[in-house]
Amino acid sequence: MASVNETVDSKEQLSGNNPQTDESKLEDNPITDERSPVFESRIERATELWDSGKVKFREGKTKEALDDFKRGIYQVDFDELSYNFELMDKHRDAVDKIRIPLWLNAAACLLKDSDGAADELKPKETRMKDAKGALEFCELVIKHDPKHVKALYRRAKAKEVMGETESALDDLEIAHGLVRDDEELSKAVLAMRKRLEKARRESDKMWKGIIKLPEKESVSESSGPLARILGIFTMVWAFIRGLFSGAKLKLS
């Protein structure tokens, strides 16, 4: 199996039937190509854009690669009626075979430079926006295949950027349960657990500092009716506990 951390996907790795989607709902989708009325031409054009996007990504041209992947997605986007009733099974298979890796690669582009050294990160607002877009692309894949390891992994990365650490860990653990022998995924789960535990400790420490109980005062040093009532209640409670303690000693 290929590593979950790979950034480009091949047709041999991914296939299957997939529900239609309205790509116009995804943010910043640059639709600049015309779509041919010929089905085979649209598949061919989507494949060309997929291939060119992979080359650009490897050259470090992330934005240009993302544009190609989105344009490729546009080529193989069909409305519900066309997808379910006009396309034959072999046509739906051809659409799904290329659309899934296009979605995954678009997500990989959006997640690039979202973690790592602070001086290498995109601005926070951009990271959050891109993470949301990556999450949407991953969920299109997961809607088709809830056990798609690479989509679960990338959705976890997107959720982590968005601050949804516990949900991100859930995705990683599901993916890890599907491929126990993936070393990178095992490391990712362990690292996420450590980050979550550290965040919990820091949160507990912060709340302990905020909710700090006042130092104990004696009744004579305290002032006000509430303090006097509290002192009386303490003495009565001590007396009652003494009675029960004596009773236990007698029974034993």
**Residue 12: inside a domain:** no
Do 238 and 151 lie in one domain? The reply is no
Task: Give tens-digit pLDDT for 160-195.
Answer: 999 999 999 999 999 999 999 999 999 999 999 999
Do 188 and 243 lie in one domain? The reply is no
Task: Give tens-digit pLDDT for 196-229.
Answer: 998 888 887 787 767 655 555 444 444 566 666 7
Per-residue pLDDT at 66 exceeds 80: yes
Do 91 and 118 lie in one domain? The reply is yes
pTM of the model: 0.70
Do 42 and 67 lie in one domain? The reply is yes
Task: Give tens-digit pLDDT for 130-154.
Answer: 999 999 999 999 998 999 999 999 9
Do 45 and 82 lie in one domain? The reply is yes
Do 189 and 234 lie in one domain? The reply is no
Distance CA 79, CA 86 (A): 10
Do 172 and 241 lie in one domain? The reply is no
Do 146 and 184 lie in one domain? The reply is yes
Query: Which of 6-10, 125-129, 144-148 is the least confident region?
Result: 6-10
Do 238 and 173 lie in one domain? The reply is no
Identify the CATH number of the domain in which residue 59 sits. 1.25.40.10
**Residue 127: inside a domain:** yes
- Range of the structural domain that residue 27 is part of: 23-202
**Residue 57: inside a domain:** yes
Q: Which of 21, 202, 216 is nearest to 106 (CA)?
A: 21
Helices (H), the chain: 39-58, 62-75, 80-81, 89-111, 124-144, 149-161, 165-178, 183-210, 225-251
